Amino acid sequence: MNKNRRIVIIGGGVAGLAAAEALAENELPCVVVEKETTLGGHVRKWACTATDRCLGCYCCKVDDLTHSVRSSDKISVELGWQVSQLVRESSKIHKVRLRSVENGTEKLIDACAVIVAIGFEPYDPTEKIFWGYRRLKGVATLAELNQWVQTDSLKSFVSDESQPLRVAFLQCIGSRDTSIGANYCSEYCCSSALRMALNLCHDHPRWDVTLFYIDLQMADKMAAALKQDAQRQGIHFVQGTPGEIVQTGEGKLSVVSARNGLNVREEFDKIVLSTGQRPAGDTKTLAEILGLELDQFGFIAASTSWSAGRTDAPGVYVAGTCRAPGSIQKSLLSAGNAAAAIIADYLSL
């Protein structure tokens, strides 16, 4: 094969960057194609939740990966470009056509393989009016809260941080919901909300925090320690997701949850919605370009073979949350699997 042909990685989030780093470390040339003008994807706007110790959120990984990719002579980066065509010779990938997001200019690059790592889109909670998002003051998403914490602008949400507040985190907003075609767990929400709750309690000891959940989906190795920390900090756990959020005349946010067979009404100052992950908006179009199948929820289907990272389209691999919802840690593992599959296949590409 022509060693000048590169591996094209579509998406510059943590999965795409991690895959590029792994390939470069194995002397395989690649190019990261990102439609936005910056690298890092969603994680670039996600806050480190460390308290007096690291809580294992992996948010800092995006800066390390960005530096590694930018400094590698095996990796080039194309910002503001999208893949518009896959050119094959026989069954093998030969070239990839890119189109500029800004002006529609096109160019062809030599390629031997493609990794799809386009990430996800967050669920839009305005789809269901009873969540009160953008309608009731004091209701925000977990992603927004992360941005405020990261940029030290929590006053966008809380006018006086020194005052005692009651804050509730509501899980599974847009996940595990058959009525909207999302009967799956987004996996990252429980651990991310719990880490943020611990961070808030550490920085604001006068705040009272409650986490409503269906069941805690926390598979990482720190899960038990996180929950124990939360219980020591006085964070309340209530099983069940409340129904409609109602604003009282005093400006409080009122919710009803079921406890021991009874409906219990509670009032909070702020409510944080942990929104689920949806397939990225261009997933279907890209799947058609690359000859990929989608699963029942609209994510990219992996290969029916035993190997993680492969798809049923020759030379096309998949990594990260465009394959299935998940955490940063899971995306990094997925990127490693895709890179390993390419390394194993490289001489035959």
Domain positions in the chain: 6-119+280-348, 124-276
For 300-306, the CB contacts below 8 A with 24+ separation are: 300/116
Q: Is the confidence at residue 106, as pLDDT, over 90?
A: yes
User: pLDDT tens-digit profile of 35-67?
Assistant: 999 999 999 999 999 998 999 899 999 999 999
CATH superfamily of 124-276: FAD/NAD(P)-binding domain (3.50.50.60)
- The DSSP bridge pattern shows strands 208-213 and 166-173 to be parallel
CB proximity list for 181: less than 8 A, separation 6 or greater: 297
Please report which helix (H) or strand (E) contains residue 151, including its range: none
User: pLDDT tens-digit profile of 147-202?
Assistant: 999 999 999 899 999 999 999 999 999 999 999 989 999 989 999 999 999 999 99
Mean pLDDT of the region 19-47: 97
Q: Identify the sign of the CA torsion 147, 150, 153, 158.
A: positive
6-119+280-348 and 124-276 have identical folds: yes
Q: What are phi and psi of 55, to 5 degrees?
A: -105, 10
pTM for the model: 0.94
Q: Which two tokens stand for residue 348?
A: 């035959």
Return the pLDDT at 2.
Answer: 53
Q: Does domain 6-119+280-348 have CATH number 3.40.630.10?
A: no
